């Protein structure tokens, strides 16, 4: 089966500084790929190329090819807003909108033009359940999302993303700022939903990579140093 997303000879310069030195990596549907490596090796930079958060920044230049479903996502014809719907992202710091839990999760659905209250209610509930935060917020759906704990906010952000059913989910150290219980909930959520998505997670934790990923890619100084199936990488001495 063809990978959903392929990236080839990716190079990125911040001004004169070459932050990515020719990355080749493909991603299969229904798999979690962990990107791992020391701070500053280029993990976030690479991840941000995939939803085009980098290329509109002054001084940044990117070369290489990125194909999603066979389409070149850097083609001049590519609509960046449409791409961001296909490729959702979760950041290290939870970033809910400063309005109610309900409105956070309904946001993307309303943007899509869904107005039917019953349909919105159902999708909001289903997404919050998928993100394993429903029980904690169901009596407070009208409360401001920023009033919840960091771990709850992050799961609300995941629900907001799942509500619009992207194809690819990018997570940039999504549990680094969280308590262990929320981190475990998020890992469990990713394992439960991976059958429906293509997931790429940046982590500095080998333990996290070995617990949840199907493939692991190690980066060092802007290069890939090792890639393969996680079960092979972590079992080999």
Q: How far apart are CA 230 and CA 34, in angstroms?
A: 9
Footprint of ligand ADP on 165-204 (CB under 6 A) = none
Nearer to ligand ADP, 43 or 211 (CB): 43
Nearer to ligand ADP, 98 or 228 (CB): 228
Query: Hey, is 187 helix, strand or coil?
Result: helix
**Exactly one of 4, 10, 36, 42 binds ligand ADP (CB under 6 A); which one?**
42
CA–CA–CA angle 135, 137, 139 (5° rounding): 90
Counting contacts by CB under 6 A, is residue 86 touching ligand ADP?
no
Extract the tokens encoding 172.
């940039």
Counting contacts by CB under 6 A, is residue 229 touching ligand ADP?
yes
Footprint of ligand ADP on 45-84 (CB under 6 A) = 45
**Exactly one of 23, 41, 159, 171 binds ligand ADP (CB under 6 A); which one?**
41
Counting contacts by CB under 6 A, is residue 227 touching ligand ADP?
yes
Scored b (16 or more CB within 10 A) or e, 151-184 reads bbbbbbbbbbbbbbbbbbbbbbbbbebbeeebbe
Counting contacts by CB under 6 A, is residue 9 touching ligand ADP?
no
Q: How far apart are CA 131 and CA 154, in angstroms?
A: 9
Extract the tokens encoding 65.
């090819």
* Minimum CB–partner distance for residue 206 and ligand ADP (Å): 15
**Exactly one of 4, 10, 23, 25 binds ligand ADP (CB under 6 A); which one?**
25
Please measure the distance between the N-terminal and C-terminal CA atoms of the chain and give it in whole angstroms.
30
Burial class (CB within 10 angstroms; exposed 0-12, middle 13-18, buried 19+) of 191: middle
**Exactly one of 30, 110, 192, 232 binds ligand ADP (CB under 6 A); which one?**
232
Counting contacts by CB under 6 A, is residue 39 touching ligand ADP?
yes
What residues line the site for ligand ADP (CB under 6 A)? 14, 17, 19, 25-27, 33, 37, 39-45, 215, 217, 227-229, 232
């Amino acid at each position: 089966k063809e990978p959903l997303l392929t990236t080839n000879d990716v190079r990125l310069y911040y001004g004169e500084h070459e932050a990515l030195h020719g990355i080749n990596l493909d991603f299969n549907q229904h798999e979690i790929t962990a990107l791992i490596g020391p701070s500053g090796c280029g993990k976030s930079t690479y991840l941000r190329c995939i939803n085009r958060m980098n290329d509109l920044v002054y001084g940044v230049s990117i070369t290489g090819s990125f194909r999603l479903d066979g389409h070149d996502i850097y083609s001049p014809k590519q609509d960046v807003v449409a791409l961001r719907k296909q490729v959702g992202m979760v950041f290290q710091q939870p970033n809910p909108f400063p309005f109610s839990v309900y409105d956070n999760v309904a946001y993307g659905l309303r943007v899509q033009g869904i107005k039917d209250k019953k349909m919105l209610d159902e999708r909001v509930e289903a997404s919050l359940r998928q993100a394993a935060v429903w029980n904690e917020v169901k009596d407070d759906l009208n409360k401001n999302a920023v009033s919840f704990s960091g771990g709850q906010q992050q799961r609300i952000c995941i629900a907001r993303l799942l509500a619009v059913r992207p194809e690819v989910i990018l997570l940039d150290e999504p549990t680094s700022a969280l308590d262990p219980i929320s981190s475990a909930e998020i890992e469990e959520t990713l394992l439960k939903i991976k059958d429906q998505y293509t997931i790429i997670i940046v982590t500095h934790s080998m333990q996290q990579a070995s617990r949840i990923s199907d493939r692991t890619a190690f980066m060092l100084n802007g290069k890939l140093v090792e890639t393969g199936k996680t079960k092979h990488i972590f079992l080999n001495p």
